[in-house]
Structure 1
Amino acid sequence: MVSPPHEAMHRIFQEYPGLFSRVSEHLGIHIPRPTSATVLPTDLTENSPVERRVDTLLRIETQDDGPFLLAIEAQGKKDHRKTASWPYYVSYLHNRYGALPVLLLIVCQDHSTARWAATPITIGLRQWPTLTLNPLVAGPHNMPVITNVAEARKDLALATLAAITHADNPDVDAILKTLSAALRDTPENIADPIVELTAQGLGNRPAAQQWRNLVAVDTSFYKSFISEEIRDEGRAEGEAKGLASSLRLVLEARGISLTDETRTKITTCTDPALLHQWLQRAATATTAEEVFTEDH
């Protein structure tokens, strides 16, 4: 199953096709800034039972060097099957699109996978290689650590990719705070995809919760799915607190004593549906056990 970080690492180039020219500078090569970019179909399957798909495929137009194809793969771990599929992707695209130059970019989130992905893939004899594939690799080893708000605001797409590739960096807290601060005065149509891509790229890491907390500081800046989810959680939490208070009042009014354990059970419950159930039982119960028993 494809993971959210996997999707974010390549989908960001669909959202911001011009990002690659800035990324390439950190990879040690110069790619002219694109004049336009077109998202192409990612299905590389021929008339055979084997289905092959690249993660993202872009046709990049440049003013000086003409067009080229940029194939982007998000790689979360070592997968030695790629030594067969990546050369296939490149040769297939070269043939399908009329001998356009093809670049393969691999985006990683850990140093070990990045080192593995950067290893040239050679097809042929040791004495005479027929084909050698040299992927470009973007990862925590060469993406910038952006902790300056002005720098992040200057290139929000690069700052987002940098945050995603540095998801496991010990300084990720500072990276995310910088990105969040850079978005604070940004129009929502620009901020929304960045908020969502960052959340997706962080996956289920501890940093993901920090990003949610940063976004929640002032959700009026963010109208994305994550801010709506946070607001929904806030409403549920408020409802739960109100129900818990009502439940305690009903139990006290009916003379049903509560132990410290029972009080804690009520105050720590965050499920409005369960609190509703307890409150209904409290209306007719004569003991606390009748309210909280599981098989009542």
Structure 2
Amino acid sequence: MCHLDDTDVDAMFPALLAALLTLEPDAKIFYHNVTVARLTTAARARWEDFLMTPAVGKRYYDDMLNEVDARAEARGEARGEARSVLLVLESRGVPVPPALRERILGTVDASQLDVWLRRAATATTVEDVVRD
């Protein structure tokens, strides 16, 4: 894609798409965004047209959107679980310093949050909850 002003860049679209489809979700989104940012306005429009063809676009965009939705849903569930940990601690009168509050809220590992929620039900300190 060295000659981004060249209309021959269109010939690279199938190979680019094939490469993007082999990547993990985060990498796919990253490289898609990098590619689109480097294209001229005209080439970007042609890339988008290529992706929107019935044979190509629906699968590509559906895959990307499903991956983004799944990650957003997982983050939302983790955030809710983290809030539950904090709510249990708060309802039991266990103080939670700001640094540990941020650690709990920043955790996205559902199994770790489950462990912490169980511990929060009986712990006397927040350190008892987040211990390894």
TM-score range, shorter chain: 0.5 to 0.7
Offset at residue 190 of structure 1 (A): 1.7
User: How many Å separate the matches in 2 of 1:256 and 1:176?
Assistant: 57
The alignment status of 1:276 with 2:129, answered yes or no, reads no
| 1:175 corresponds to | 39
Offset at residue 162 of structure 1 (A): 6.9
User: How many Å separate the matches in 2 of 1:259 and 1:241?
Assistant: 18
Alpha carbons 1:243, 1:276 under 8 Å: kept: yes
Q: Work out which of the residue numbers 81, 90, 93 in structure 2 matches 1:252.
A: 90
Offset at residue 157 of structure 1 (A): 5.0
Offset at residue 192 of structure 1 (A): 5.0
Counterpart code for 2:12:
L
Counterpart code for 1:145:
L
User: How many Å separate the matches in 1 of 2:81 and 2:45?
Assistant: 37
Alpha carbons 1:146, 1:162 under 8 Å: kept: no
Q: Work out which of the residue numbers 43, 63, 66 in structure 2 matches 1:228.
A: 66
Q: 1:172 to 1:190 in 2, by over 3 A?
A: closer
| 2:57 corresponds to | 191
User: How many Å separate the matches in 2 of 1:274 and 1:259?
Assistant: 19
- TM-score normalised by the chain length of structure 2: 0.66
- Report matched runs for 1:1-296 at 5 Å: 140=2, 144-145=3-4, 157-159=11-13, 161=15, 173-175=37-39, 178=44, 182-183=48-49, 186-191=52-57, 195=60, 222-224=61-63, 226-294=64-132
User: How many Å separate the matches in 2 of 1:256 and 1:179?
Assistant: 56
Counterpart code for 1:231:
D
Q: Which has the higher strand share?
A: 1
Aligned length: 116
Q: 1:279 to 1:171 in 2, by over 3 A?
A: closer
Task: Return the index of the structure with the highest Cα Rg.
Answer: 1
Q: 1:242 to 1:156 in 2, by over 3 A?
A: farther
User: How many Å separate the matches in 2 of 1:237 and 1:261?
Assistant: 20
- TM-score normalised by the chain length of structure 1: 0.32
User: How many Å separate the matches in 2 of 1:179 and 1:161?
Assistant: 17
Q: 1:281 to 1:174 in 2, by over 3 A?
A: same
Secondary structure of the structure 1 residue equivalent to 2:37: helix
Q: 1:187 to 1:287 in 2, by over 3 A?
A: same
Offset at residue 269 of structure 1 (A): 1.0
User: How many Å separate the matches in 1 of 2:36 and 2:82?
Assistant: 37
User: How many Å separate the matches in 1 of 2:67 and 2:76?
Assistant: 14
Alpha carbons 2:13, 2:50 under 8 Å: kept: no
Counterpart code for 1:173:
A
User: How many Å separate the matches in 2 of 1:185 and 1:171?
Assistant: 13
Offset at residue 160 of structure 1 (A): 5.1
Give CA deviations for 1:239-272 in whole Å, capped at 9, x if unaligned: 0111111111111000110112101101211112
